[in-house]
Structure 1
Amino acid sequence: MSTDQKIPDPSTAPRVRGRDKGIKIFMWPKVIYIFPSAVVSLICAIGMWALPDKEYDPSRGPEVVTAAGENAEVVRVDSPKADVPTADGSTKAPGAPITRRERFNTPQNLLGVLFLVVLGFNLVVMGLDFPRFELIGLILAILFTTFFVLWLGSYFDLDLLRPINAMLGSIYVFANAGFYLMYFTMVMIVLAIVYVTRWLDYWEIMPNEILHHHGPLSDLERYPTLNLKFDKEIPDVLEYLLLGAGRLVLQVPNMERAIILENVLFISSKEEALKRLMSRLDVRITTDKDDPLI
């Protein structure tokens, strides 16, 4: 009876599906958080396209053409009470004057305010970090301030809505559909460039090693994954709410400094994938053809 062990044929050895596939991790710049304003700009462009001849201040009246041909002249009616001259020489009343509050509620102004508010929110997200407890403290401070101001108005019988209405009435911003469409196009071009150039610097975590690809010629650095430790951090709650972004800290053995991967999108799913990947270690017996036997 022979006791020699037979080495299995590499061609017939079963392959583990997805054994060589790792987890690719990209670090994104903060400019990607500008995408909500791009979406709103597209909505505003459609809204202004559906509102022709609304690119003027309704409290001052529209611009009208008084004649045709070479003698054409554009005249702005400063008072809505005045008659508006038309191209055929007749006059036409533009209607009753509107108040500042009615002007603020015009569709073109509401679209402009919406765009600026979302753009301002995007800039705050990009420029500041809001940790979890600081954001909760900020919300509580705003609520307390609002309650205190309302209490003062009720106690001293103050009309606090009058200055608010006056401030809102002084706001009138609008842009035509072309402006919103150009803003949307520019942001999409920037995001497309960011999406393509992400391959210039990214990390790939394999069961046995960590690969750092960087540079235009894809320079490669290798790190072992044996005894690898990693932590997930959420430095900004707003970024996490927008795209699930966070920070991934890799503690590689025999390295003085940890590898910090900033602004990783959908970091919770990356964490779960890393847990599954680190739960096993590939052990291979290979031939000259580098085909796994075990």
Structure 2
Amino acid sequence: MSDDQTNSEQPTEPKKAQRIYLIPFPKFIFMYPTLLISLLAWAILAIKGYSTVEPDDSLPVMMTGIFLGVLALNTFVIVFDFPRATSLTLIFILTTAALGGWMAVSMKPDLLPAVESWVMALRPAANSTFFGCVSIGMLLMFIAVFVSVRMNYWELSNNELLHHHGILSDLKRYPAPQLRVDKEINDVFEFILLGAGRLILHPAGESRAIVLDNVLFVGNKERLLTQALGSIKVKIGNDSH
């Protein structure tokens, strides 16, 4: 018997079933830039010894200003949805406002020093304890988010779409063959932050679609689903005859 025949007769190990997990997250997950800035400010001010601060202290004022700016932008992103058309409109509005401000300063040179003095008079300052409390509070919220999503997630495996939900991990099954998947990017900024988007699943025989919002790295998930669904084959009867 030749080596080729021997090799061909050797049993091959069955491939592991691919499991694809689809986890819809709450919008709080997009607050991670605020958490990172808070942790950074906490570390810097604690190392420099700013347990108490005054408005004349430049470093606490700078860190507080950066924190408030990031918090405002971060909150703006999660409160409002910015699809592609809305994002273009927002860019147009900001560009128009910047152009209008430049024209106003050009026509009234005294306006800029007045605005500058007003801005410089605003000197919010927070100490290291404040940033420590904010950081710990946000970390606890993130822990709660990651615990909660373990009680509500979807899994594609073994020709089935499984919905795990509840404290005791209740299970609902849907057929995976002929499952249709649609992807939507509802918010450009959320997609930039964590590649997040919406997946809409249409199981065969179900009248209502399954909508999963805020799925992280949705493009990669869609690619994996497409590959898995393309390779699903349903075995009917017995092939031993």
Shorter-normalised TM-score: what interval? 0.7 to 0.9
The reply to whether residue 18 of structure 1 matches residue 20 of structure 2 is no
What is the CA-CA distance between 1:164 and the residue it aligns to?
Answer: 2.1
In structure 1, which of residues 43, 46, 51 is the aligned counterpart of residue 40 of structure 2? 43
Provide the secondary structure at the position in 2 that maps to 1:279.
helix
1:122 aligns with 2:120: no
Larger radius of gyration: 1
Q: Where does 1:122-201 land on structure 2 (aligned, <5 Å)?
A: 122-154=74-106, 156-201=107-152
Contact 2:105–2:112, Cα closer than 8 Å, also in 1: no
Higher helix share: 2
Decide which of 152, 159, 167 is 1:208's aligned counterpart.
159
Could you say what secondary structure the match of 2:123 adopts? coil
| Equivalent runs, 1:225-240 vs 2, <5 Å | 225-240=176-191
- Aligned with 1:172: secondary structure? coil
- Equivalent residue, structure 1, for 2:53: 55
Letter in 2 for 1:250: L
Taking every aligned residue pair, what percent have the same amino acid on both sides?
A: 32
1:190 aligns to what SS in structure 2? helix
C-alpha spacing 1:284/1:15, structure 2 compared with 1 (3 Å): farther
Q: Which letter does structure 2 place at the counterpart of 1:23?
A: I
Hey, what's the Cα distance between the residues in 1 that align with 2:15 and 2:78? Answer: 40
Residue 207 of structure 1 and its aligned partner are, at CA, apart by 4.9
| 1:114-143 CA distance string (max 9 Å, x none) | 111111122112211111121111111111
2:4 matched residue in structure 1: none
Question: Unpaired segments of 5 or more residues in structure 2?
Answer: 1-9
Q: Is the 8 A contact 2:176 2:203 kept in 1?
A: yes
Residue 235 of structure 1: how far off its partner (Å): 0.5
Larger deviation, residues 205-214 vs 276-285:
276-285
Number of matched pairs:
229
SS of structure 1 residue aligned to 2:150:
helix
Q: What secondary structure is seen at the aligned counterpart in 1 of 2:125?
A: coil
Q: Secondary structure of 2:12's match?
A: coil
CA contact under 8 A between 1:207 and 1:280: conserved in structure 2? Answer: no
What are the within-5 Å matches in structure 2 for residues 277-292 of structure 1? 277-284=228-235
Q: Quick one: distance in 2 between partners of 1:145 and 1:116? A: 22
Q: Is the 8 A contact 1:207 1:282 kept in 2?
A: no
Change (3 A) 1:113 1:51: same
| Correspondence for 1:107 among 47, 53, 59 | 59
Structure 2: how far apart are the matches of 1:50 and 1:219?
Answer: 48
Instruction: Name the CA distance, whole Å, in 2 between partners of 1:46 and 1:208.
Output: 49
Q: In structure 2, how many angstroms separate the alpha carbons of the residues matched to 1:32 and 1:111?
A: 23
Residues 61 and 124, structure 2, Cα contact 8 Å, conserved in 1: yes
Task: Provide the TM-score with structure 2 as the length reference.
Answer: 0.87
Partner amino acid, structure 2, of 1:14? T
Contact in 2 for aligned 1:24/1:203 (Cα 8 Å): yes
2:89 maps to amino acid: G
* C-alpha contact 1:207 1:278 (8 A) present in aligned 2: no
Structure 1 residues without counterparts, runs of 5 or longer: 1-11, 59-102, 288-292
Deviation at 1:272, TM superposition (A): 0.8
State the partner residue of 2:3: none
